[in-house]
Amino acid sequence: MSASVTVPDTLRLRKVSFVRDGREILAPLDWTVRPDERWLVLGANGSGKTTLVRIASLYEHPSTGTLEVLGETLGRTDVRQLRRRIGLASAALSQQFRTDLRAIDIVMTARYAALEPWWHEYTDDDREHARACLARMGVEAYAERPIYTLSSGEQQRVFLARSLMNDPGLVLLDEPSARLDLGGREQLVGALSELVDDPTSPPLILVTHHVDEVPNGMTHALLLRSGRVVSVGPIAQALTAETLSECFGLDLVLERRGDGRLTAWAREALGTQGR
């Protein structure tokens, strides 16, 4: 009888904290992401969400604690190589690219975690795989077009495609809807829903401060306030009106719409909304 194979946790933080200039941005926290999970990280601006993503993507080192990513331990591995196994999409990253780059070049540069296609040499297989990633996100038709000619929603689909270029073991999405208009946001949520629903997709972590842009299918939630964990666990238990209210310091109502999407508003606004 063959021995069972133990699959390592995708992400594991133990007593991880982050301090900058004497200010505690993240209090010590424990967090585990497993291979079959889709996580939502929710919190107000300044809650420590982006710092947590930068630690998970190996662009920041924690002040204390142990970090394990894809079976590798920070401090005992080559982070330059390990970063290539992590798909990352964020508004901050997308702003670093030249706006006249073609969509296919933006996706393909993820092969080496680069910002310019001329920094490295690429093969026909690389180009074919980049096109496949664009097709997966429904934007292959725009492969040869400069990114600035696409709508905001189409651009975000391109950057989602980029996060898949290296067949990553983990995908991190840091407020990908920032600066999108309503149409662009809805296009993005549609793309995220497709990604979340795909059983072949890698574990995914979505960071946001709006429950309205959370796609169906997220399995777990981590809520932060001022760098501290408010709630963590399966989404039905971790994300409630009570935990959301504590997270944002407001008395909030949380509802699930008919299409399964979440929405929230301040309870004191009930009278003005006719509820």
Length of the chain: 275
| 198/270 Cα distance (integer angstroms) | 37
Residue 258 has pLDDT above 50, yes or no: yes
Residue 22's contacts (CB-CB under 8 Å, 6 or more residues apart) are none
Q: 67-81, 109-123, 184-198 — which is least confidently predicted?
A: 184-198
pLDDT per position as a tens digit, 199-216: 888 899 999 888 888 888
Higher pLDDT, 158 or 258: 158
Is 156 part of a structural domain of the chain?
yes
**Average pLDDT for 91-119:** 89
Report if pTM > 0.85: yes
Cα separations (Å) of 105 from 14, 153, 195?
A: 37, 18, 21
**Average pLDDT for 132-144:** 92
pLDDT at 201: 86
Q: Where are the alpha helices (DSSP H) in 200-266?
A: 235-238, 241-248
Task: Output 21-26 pairs: Cβ under 8 A, ≥24 positions apart.
Answer: 24/227, 25/51, 25/227, 26/51, 26/52, 26/55, 26/62, 26/227
| Radius of gyration of the CA atoms of the chain, in A | 19
**Average pLDDT for 137-152:** 92
pLDDT band at 162; cut points 50, 70, 90:
very high
The SS3 call for residue 10 is: coil
Question: Percentage of the chain with pLDDT > 90?
Answer: 53
Is 162 part of a structural domain of the chain?
yes
Which domain range does residue 93 map to?
11-238
Is 77 part of a structural domain of the chain?
yes
pLDDT per position as a tens digit, 226-256: 999 999 999 999 999 999 999 999 999 999 8
Is 274 part of a structural domain of the chain?
no
pLDDT at 80: 84
| 267/254 Cα distance (integer angstroms) | 9
- Whose CA is closest to 94, among 35, 153, 8? 153
Instruction: Please say whether the beta carbons of 95 and 76 come within 8 A.
Output: no
- Return the CATH number at 176: 3.40.50.300
pLDDT at 274: 45
For all residues of the chain together, what is the average pLDDT?
Answer: 88
Is 74 part of a structural domain of the chain?
yes
Number of structural domains, the chain?
Answer: 1
CA angle 7, 8, 13 (to 5 degrees): 155
Residue 183 has pLDDT above 60, yes or no: yes
Is 207 part of a structural domain of the chain?
yes
Instruction: Please say whether the beta carbons of 141 and 157 come within 8 A.
Output: no
Is 6 part of a structural domain of the chain?
no
Is 91 part of a structural domain of the chain?
yes
| 47/85 Cα distance (integer angstroms) | 27
